[in-house]
Amino acid sequence: MLLFPVILFPFLLLLLYFIVRPRPVNIPIKNRHVFITGGSSGIGLALAHQAASQGARVSLLARSLSKLEEAKQSIRLSSGVDVSIFAADVRDHDAVQKAINDAGPIDVLVVNQGVFVPQELEKQGLDEVKFMIDVNLMGSFNVIKAVLPLMKERKDRGPTSIALMSSQAGQVGVYGYTAYSASKFGLRGLAEALQQEVIADNIHVSLIFPPDTDTPGFEQESKVRPELTTILAGSSGSMKADEVAKKALDGIKSGSFIVPCNFEGQMLAIATAGLSPQRSFLMAFIEVAFIGIFRLVALFFQWNWYGSIEQWHAKKKEK
């Protein structure tokens, strides 16, 4: 009986070593141009600090020029690095194209801008739904379309990266996040298809899945969160922006397609691996070996969440 795993596991590891695609890659950051959208606040700003302190040339894009100037000043104070800043709205393709042309060829693009207004769909106006889809999803298309031609031309400069900031709400639908989840799930389709389209140009796509993260955007969001959203989203714990930025940058540098940020995120990544690319044969081994058990854990989560929803409605009826 014991002989079975002893023979099977090494064979499986060897098989996975040969079949995982795309092949492993390292994306250097030092002396390279890292362009971060939504880089004036929260996770984007933390990423900018870390990339600058690791020797990257950093550019930031966001709407508010004053917030960008504050960010530039804080990075100069902490690391002595002067970053370039560009004020543009990602919904405006022409403005984004101009900023990117001015910034010059990009080695690592982090598409991080995002807006989140949680509310039950029934109560949320379609203008707010469109706002989230436009900034989070269409805005990402605008940025990537503007960057791709120049990035493709940089074949002599080694591997380049396009990283997209999704969310755990882009791996699993959460109460109150119908529009936000839709915009973030959309990024997954974008990323999976794009990776196939750009692999021949040595461009490597990463998809980052942070849990709740302590940022100015999150602080605003928490004020309007439906109670049930807080109860359900709380199951993955919360992180500091610096911690998420470190996980994100490490994931980008190792060329990982899926980048989880905490233990629960790692479990979620395995449970939702599906047909996504996997470069690491060890991670592929864990996925193959544990997918069944993680599905069971996922079903327990659903059992718990639906239980909480039922209880919440029952309490509301009592009142």
Ligand X SMILES: NC(=O)c1ccc[n+]([C@@H]2O[C@H](COP(=O)([O-])OP(=O)(O)OC[C@H]3O[C@@H](n4cnc5c(N)ncnc54)[C@H](OP(=O)(O)O)[C@@H]3O)[C@@H](O)[C@H]2O)c1
Catalytic residues: 166, 180, 184
Query: Which of 114, 176, 251, 255 lies at the binding interface for ligand X (CB under 6 A)?
Result: 114
- Stretch near ligand X under the rule CB under 6 A, chosen from 42-50, 51-59, 251-259, 265-273: 42-50
Cβ-based nearer residue to ligand X, 257 or 285: 257
Smallest gap from residue 223 Cβ to ligand X (A): 13
Query: Which of 40, 79, 142, 206 lies at the binding interface for ligand X (CB under 6 A)?
Result: 40
Cβ-based nearer residue to ligand X, 16 or 96: 96
Smallest gap from residue 263 Cβ to ligand X (A): 16
By the rule CB under 6 A, 157 interacts with ligand X: no
By the rule CB under 6 A, 38 interacts with ligand X: yes
- Output the CA angle 244-249-254, nearest 5 degrees: 130
| Residues in region 270-309 near ligand X by CB under 6 A | none
- Stretch near ligand X under the rule CB under 6 A, chosen from 61-69, 262-270, 275-283, 285-293: 61-69
By the rule CB under 6 A, 118 interacts with ligand X: no
Smallest gap from residue 167 Cβ to ligand X (A): 3
By the rule CB under 6 A, 255 interacts with ligand X: no
Q: Site size for ligand X, by CB under 6 A?
A: 30
Q: Which residues bind ligand X (CB under 6 A)?
A: 37-38, 40-44, 62-64, 67, 89-91, 112-116, 135, 139, 165, 167, 210, 212-213, 215-218
